[in-house]
Amino acid sequence: MVTKNREFYFTTRQFSNNRNYVDGVLVGESSTKPFVAWPKLSSRTGINNPKWRSLIKSGGSATSPMSGFDVRQLEDKPFTSVFTSSYKLGDHQYYSEGWNNGNSSIGCQTPGHVGGTSLTVAENQASSRTLANVRAEHTKFQGIVSLGELSETLRLLRHPFKGVDKWVSGYLRDLKSSKSFKQLAVKRTKSSRKSFLTMASDLWLEVAFGVRPLLNDVADLTGALLHNSYGVSRTMVVGTGNSTTASDGTQIEGSVAGGILRASWQNRTTRMIRYKAALDSSSSVHEKGISRLQDALGFNLESFVPSVYNLIPFSFLVDYFSNLGDVIEAGTTNQQAVKWVLRTDRLETVRTGVLAPVQTNFGDVNTVVSFSSEGGSFVTVNRTVDRSSVSSVPLPDFQVNLPGSPMKYANMLALLKSNEDNLLKRIRF
């Protein structure tokens, strides 16, 4: 094991200057130039790999295990403020000016990691996405699912947007039979407006679960046929998962000429898990010919169980609130072509803050004041990394969660509205 350390410094500089004049003559001046150095250390421990060229050539992993930590300043913009005041007393004119410039010590301190990130969430996301990419490399088209949904697909092609057609036909029929727009308004009652909402919900569902999947299937089928003819034997897949939490905002105040300096910041911590897997299908079960074409089209034993699950009505709702679908797919993914896997665990905290000079001295009826300023900002990153080799991509654990995408909530609302009448009939006594 070899350890490399790097020592360096972050610096805090605060400059201030105040001058006083009487009848245009400088009568007093004071200035401060405090300077503080903050010692920092970055470290990395790993194993030298002098044979990395031959490993890459043979398809092996040339990346060795490594662990380390680092702190960096991505941004350190100083603030500036200028304050002047002028007044007349007797026969004399008094004038003073104050100038402040500098950065903040908050941006020079190493931000601590915020508690609350979930290793399980990040791990599950990373392993699920990596195994999904492994599967996608040799299964380009979900053939069993497409056959199971064939009747619905044909119905969509023969009668596209049936709900819209029915609602428009009803509207035109009422319009034709009405002698005035007032009579039309009477016919288009509340129930008609309700049917419009139902039609809109049906249209949304038809696009979300019919048209878009159909277009994706066409693209996947094309990709499967191309993969069967021109697919590469070696490739790399990556899957990443994240869990993020943030601290409450913090604010402190200092003094500047004619006002205060307000420093505000927040820490945001992200736990990131990343798997990188090398695939070599040249000597695996995925050979060219009929067998490879079956795999590419999804007609294999590996795809059977996930396909049956996907064909269960409303199984997508289960996936909205859990990762059951990912667990089933990951558990049936063939990792025979996976030659090596690297796992990276990174814990990163980013402190983002601003420096805002604010005027508090506004003078009086006898004093004329002015205040001008330009705010500052800082971004500091504290990062810990651990990289290691693992024998295979692990299976994700089952977990329950809330739908995170607004699109999922929209799909559920459309589904609820579309089936509103049936649901009401079932709950009536």
Residue 284: closest CA among 239, 241, 337: 337
CA distance 343 to 272: 10
For 91, counting Cβ atoms within 10 Å of its Cβ (0-12 exposed, 13-18 middle, 19+ buried), the class is exposed
User: In the prediction, which pLDDT does 314 show?
Assistant: 72
User: In the prediction, which pLDDT does 424 show?
Assistant: 47
CA distance 136 to 219: 13
CA distance 300 to 135: 12
What DSSP string describes 62-125? -PPPEEEEEEEEEEEEPEEEEEEEEEEETTEEEEEEEEEEE--GGGGSPPPPPTT--HHHHHHH
The answer to pTM > 0.85 is no
Q: Which residues pair with 73 in a beta bridge?
A: 380
CA distance readout (Å), 238 to 127, 226, 283, 343: 9, 22, 21, 10
CA distance readout (Å), 104 to 72, 107, 130, 211: 15, 6, 42, 55
Query: What are the 10-residue block averages of pLDDT along the chain, 429 residues in total?
Result: 90 93 92 91 85 67 84 95 92 93 92 89 92 76 45 50 55 58 54 55 55 55 50 75 93 92 95 90 50 48 64 74 82 82 94 95 85 95 93 87 73 65 50
User: In the prediction, which pLDDT does 222 show?
Assistant: 52
User: In the prediction, which pLDDT does 350 show?
Assistant: 97
User: In the prediction, which pLDDT does 191 show?
Assistant: 47
Residue 118: closest CA among 414, 347, 369: 347
